[in-house]
Amino acid sequence: MKNKNNKSIDLDKFIYQSLYNKKDGYYMSKNPFGKKGDFITSANISIFFSEMLSIWILSFWENLNKPNKINIIDLGGGNGDLSKNILATLNKFPNFKNIYKLYIHEKSPLLKKKQKILIRDKNVSWVSDLRKIQKAPSLFIANEFFDALPVKQFLKNDKIWKERKVYLSKSKNWNFIDKETDINLLDKKIGFKISKDQNFLEISKVGIEYLNLISKIIKNNDGGVLIIDYGYYDKKMRNTLRGFANHKIVNILKYYKKCDITYSLSFNFLKKIAMKNNLKVAGLTTQGDFLKNMGILERAEIVSKNLSFTEKANIFYRLNKLISKNFMGEVFKVMLLTNNKSKFRIGF
């Protein structure tokens, strides 16, 4: 990214270029998933994760009185494992097999190409604009989607709000710089006083835009959005921005275009955005509790019943990664947003 005259640039623009620059952005030029990559998602750890989501999707469809058309949208398809495994489960149900359409919303041409090689199914299509999905009840699955979107940061010192920006020094090193800003403009843009009782803000404009659009689709066609991601419940926002490379946390400035950049979602903030869009939080829990509520332990017991000790140990080792408080079970949260009429609460 060129930075003429050493002018500072917005943090979210820096993150966007680092992750999504068409030529050499992190997500645009490599496959970051798996042991050989920089991080592993729940869908990569165990097929049971995708199976539980599939059962949840079927339950939601039944709760809608089994409409003869339904959309499932995988937001950020990753390496394709999640959609592939969901398809494998859903296609086992004859009454459902021919009435759903699965859309994959993927920005990276490289990952999209890999997904198309892995997934060959007449019910699947790729969509860059969510407004182009068919008019039908729509279930959005956002598994580690929102945490990959660029964020802005604002901090308050001595009652003065500043926006965090980035600049390139004469020695060609990226650095942070904080510049005074009118926080009222941000409050006005978001639609409520997000800065109230806060000393730090970490907000994704792109994430808000996605939620606004998804909310419109849900209100017009029914459905919901299931968000599974790093996050916290606290009302006070905090600085959670970090980079990942080789499965370790790294400095995002030193690893420009060479690391994943992520942050933890403020689920309290997501709740406020949902309410502003006339949606409700139909469920909020940890990933561990959600998967256990969906029957993942019982499923593992059935599958492993006649397996060897080694195979059984591998299954429960992977399961522990998903549900244990020491791993992903508690740091990952699960939130369901629906219209106000919905009474669906399975998994919560």
In this model, does residue 34 exceed pLDDT 90? no
- Note whether 211 and 177 are same-domain residues: no
Residue 119 to residue 247: CA distance in whole angstroms: 27
Q: By C-alpha distance, which of 89, 105, 96 is closest to 49?
A: 89
pTM, two decimal places: 0.94
Q: How confident is the model at residue 27 (pLDDT cuts 50, 70, 90)?
A: confident
- Note whether 176 and 47 are same-domain residues: no
Q: What is the 3-state secondary structure (H, E, C) of 101-143?
A: EEEEECCCHHHHHHHHHHCCCCCEEECCCHHHCCCCCEEEEEE
Average model confidence (pLDDT) for the chain?
94
> Pick the residue with more confidence: 1 or 48?
48
Number of independent structural domains in the chain: 2
- Sign for the CA dihedral angle at 325, 248, 233, 338 comes to negative
pLDDT for 320 equals 96
**Does residue 250 lie in a domain region?**
yes
Main-chain phi, psi angles of 323, to 5 degrees: -115, -15
Domain that holds residue 65: 20-151+204-339
- Note whether 288 and 238 are same-domain residues: yes
Q: How confident is the model at residue 1 (pLDDT cuts 50, 70, 90)?
A: low
- Note whether 144 and 185 are same-domain residues: no
pLDDT for 3 equals 53
Q: By C-alpha distance, which of 229, 206, 254 is closest to 18?
A: 254
pLDDT for 318 equals 95
- Note whether 36 and 114 are same-domain residues: yes
Give the model confidence (pLDDT) of 93-110 as tens digits. Answer: 999 999 999 999 999 998
What is the C-alpha R_g of the chain? 21
pLDDT for 32 equals 74
- Note whether 168 and 124 are same-domain residues: no
**Does residue 58 lie in a domain region?**
yes
Residue 60 to residue 58: CA distance in whole angstroms: 5
What is the CATH number for 39? 3.40.50.12710
- Note whether 208 and 188 are same-domain residues: no
pLDDT for 28 equals 85
